[in-house]
Amino acid sequence: MTILPQLIVNSIIAGAIYTLVAIGFNLIYGTVKFFDLGYGALTAVGGYAAFLFHKKLGLDLALSIILAVFLTGAIGWLVNQLVYKKLRARRASNMVFLVASLGVFTLLQALLAIFFSSQFQTLSTNAAGGRVFEIFGPTTWLGAGAVITQVQLIILLSGLAIMGALALLLKRTLFGKAIKAVADDEEVAKVVGIDTAKIIGGVFFIGAMIAGLAGILVGFDTGIEPTMGLSLLLKGVIASIIGGIGNVYGGVLGAFLLGFVENFGIWQISGEWKDAIAFGLLIIFLLFRPQGIIRK
Amino acid sequence: MEYLIHLAILVGIYAILGVSLNLVVGFTGLLSVTQAAFYGLGAYTTALLLVNFGVNFFLAAIIGMILTAMISFLIGLVLSRFRGDYYALGSFSFNIIIYSVFLNWQAVTRGPLGIPGVARPSLFGLTFSSNFSFLLLTLSLLLLTFLFTRWLTVSSFGRVLKAIREDETALQVFGYRPIHYKLVIFVIGAALAALAGALFASYITFIDPSSFVLFESIFILAIIILGGLANLKGSVLGALFLILLPEALRFVGFPSDVAAQMRQVVYGLILVFLMLYRPQGLMGEYKL
């Protein structure tokens, strides 16, 4: 039982990372109703943009992160304008969207590898990821105690902050209400005078910003590589589906459930099976509760 | 010349993969992204039987196909509960799970080290050791696969598949059980992919998990979408085009690691542009 506290902390950290990815993915899915796989590559774009601004151009850390988040948002918006918007105008099927987004994913990932090489890079200047906090000291009944790094704490807090901000945006602002209207029925939303193209563009911008932030934070926690997007995306998708697709809170719940199952799973089996465990969980949910924990 | 033969063998192997996936995606309308897993199952089974037990290649390939058929039956059973993009996601998952088995079941697959020393096929004392003879073998198996799948798709069975793709509910009204048909075609597609895997293992004489990642499934999907869904010739053409294209890029003079990434750029662009301007592919008879 000695590692139990650390295991719980690790699960929560993993859950927080998946939360970030799942929130943006869910926002986009909830609005346009297709699986935007290109979203995964945007996490890597965010990580590399921060790397470019901070390490290559030597800009201030906070400024680099803000610039990187906006740049990722802009790229997400641009992809929507260039690809998805046209497909929507043609009323393409979901499969077409899925394959097109797969193409976008492959393209972005390969471009990153060309410009930045496919080597693993770290974003943080000190390898340990900043200060380390001890949550529980070693005690007699809890065993070894648990630690969390500064970056991981920031990940946890920003996950919660973004969830809160997004919930506020969706509930309280006109823009948020317009998003909900488009999500419910794009045609009707158009009829009542909502500029749906603009709203959807906005959703892609915000979603991509969240993806970018997730990529940056993961970059500070572990590091960045062009292929990082796939596993983050897949975890985000799994979290969204098991939590309840298209539902922002459901995604958060799913993310933490996934974090716990994964970490406790590898405690019993072994680390390499993490992905298999995650996808096993997805299949179990798809079979027995396809609507997820929170039905929309 | 050796180089051209090498490319032709690869085209042959990928054409078999394309034709096998087209049965599932093009003719039946199930967006499966797990073909590389079955390709890998065939390759691993064949390689293990050849290396550990010295079984004849053709016997090993058949055992590989049967084993893959059995596993794909179970997977197909799970997948048959899904539709549309959930089907695609479910199949994604199985590719990743099977890949992790290749990578982590080290006692059998030797994990990332892979399995070296897979023998070339031999039949009645005749060994396909030269690349040219292997090419002939590959092409004859491709021809067999092609004829078999064409026979299958023009038969009444094939018509039911197309009907499933167009309107599953209507078909049920006529008393058909679409799930049986979906399962059968999924299993046939998987077994044919396993045949391609057996050829691959024996041709390269070495396999490791990296040949069977999710991206490989996406590549096979790109082949059939480019060539055209529900068109078997299209799949062969798609394989030809997508295998040769990166070789052309090589002559443009990119350094090798950039060239590898350029391939992916091209594949990505092809998928996006096809979806934008020609979702049925070059010769396709069915739009996604």
A-B contacts (CB, under 8 Å): 124
Contact residues on chain A for B279, CB-CB shorter than 8 A: 92, 96
Give the pLDDT band (50/70/90) at residue A137. Answer: low
pLDDT tens digits for range A1-18: 567 888 888 888 889 889
In this prediction, residue A139 carries a pLDDT of: 57
Among A15-19, B64-68, B81-85, B103-107, which is the least confidently predicted range? B81-85
Residue from B81, B82, B89, B106 whose CB has the most chain A CBs within 10 Å, to mutate: B89
**Are A95 and B88 in contact (CB < 8 Å)?**
yes
In this prediction, residue A101 carries a pLDDT of: 92
Average pLDDT estimate for A144-161: 82
pLDDT tens digits for range B156-173: 888 888 888 888 888 888
**Are A34 and B82 in contact (CB < 8 Å)?**
no
List, as one string, the DSSP characters of A3-25.
THHHHHHHHHHHHHHHHHHHHHH
Q: Does B74 touch chain A (CB under 8 A)?
A: no
pLDDT tens digits for range A163-216: 889 889 888 899 989 988 888 888 888 888 888 899 999 999 999 999 999 999
**Are A98 and B264 in contact (CB < 8 Å)?**
no
Q: Does B249 touch chain A (CB under 8 A)?
A: no
**Are B288 and A99 in contact (CB < 8 Å)?**
yes
Among A119-128, A138-147, A188-197, B201-210, which is the least confidently predicted range? A138-147
Residue from A258, A286, A289, A291 whose CB has the most chain B CBs within 10 Å, to mutate: A286
> In chain B, pLDDT over 90 holds for what percent of residues?
32
Give the closest-approach CA distance of B191 to chain A in angstroms: 23
Question: Distance between CA A239 and CA A234 in Å, rounded?
Answer: 8
Burial grade of B255 (CB within 10 A; 0-12, 13-18, 19 or more): exposed
**Closest-CA residue to B139 (of B3, B8, B2):** B8
Judge contact between B226 and B53, C-beta under 8 A: no
**Are B78 and A283 in contact (CB < 8 Å)?**
yes
Question: Distance between CA A234 and CA A214 in Å, rounded?
Answer: 14
Question: Chain A: residue nearest B81 by CA?
Answer: A287
Question: Distance between CA B153 and CA A104 in Å, rounded?
Answer: 32
**Are A96 and B288 in contact (CB < 8 Å)?**
yes
Q: Does B59 touch chain A (CB under 8 A)?
A: no
Q: Does A86 touch chain B (CB under 8 A)?
A: yes
Average pLDDT estimate for A70-86: 94
Task: Tell me the pLDDT of chain B averaged across its residues.
Answer: 87
Average pLDDT estimate for A121-126: 74
Contact residues on chain A for B88, CB-CB shorter than 8 A: 35, 95, 98
pLDDT tens digits for range A65-74: 999 999 999 9
Count CB atoms within 10 A of the CB of residue B258: 17
Contact residues on chain A for B276, CB-CB shorter than 8 A: 83, 86-87, 100
Question: Distance between CA A14 and CA A238 in Å, rounded?
Answer: 13
Q: Does B238 touch chain A (CB under 8 A)?
A: no
Q: Which residues of chain A from 152 to 181 reach within 8 Å of chain B, CB to CB?
A: none
**Are B262 and A110 in contact (CB < 8 Å)?**
yes
Geometric angle at alpha carbon B279, from A101 and B228, rounded to 5°: 115
Give the pLDDT band (50/70/90) at residue A258. Answer: very high
Q: Which residues of chain B from 102 to 161 reach within 8 Å of chain A, CB to CB?
A: 103-104
Give the pLDDT band (50/70/90) at residue A131. Answer: low
Q: Does B254 touch chain A (CB under 8 A)?
A: no
Contact residues on chain B for A273, CB-CB shorter than 8 A: 100, 104
**Are B275 and A111 in contact (CB < 8 Å)?**
no
Q: Does B264 touch chain A (CB under 8 A)?
A: yes
CA dihedral sign, ordered B45, B50, B56, B57: positive
Q: In terms of pLDDT, which residue wins out, A291 or A166?
A: A166
In this prediction, residue A128 carries a pLDDT of: 47
Domain definitions of chain B by residue range: 2-210
pLDDT tens digits for range B116-147: 888 888 777 777 778 888 898 899 999 999 99
Give the closest-approach CA distance of B78 to chain A in angstroms: 8
For residue A110, give the nearest of B81, B264, B271 by CB distance.
B264
Whether this prediction's pTM lies above 0.80 is answered by yes
In this prediction, residue B119 carries a pLDDT of: 81
Question: Distance between CA A287 and CA A276 in Å, rounded?
Answer: 16
Question: Distance between CA A241 and CA A30 in Å, rounded?
Answer: 12
Question: Distance between CA B267 and CA B246 in Å, rounded?
Answer: 10
**Are B268 and A114 in contact (CB < 8 Å)?**
no
Judge contact between B199 and B11, C-beta under 8 A: no
**Are A275 and B271 in contact (CB < 8 Å)?**
no
Judge contact between A294 and A244, C-beta under 8 A: yes
Give the closest-approach CA distance of B99 to chain A in angstroms: 9
**Closest-CA residue to A239 (of A1, A24, A38, A94):** A24
Average pLDDT estimate for A90-115: 89
Question: Chain A: residue nearest B280 by CA?
Answer: A96
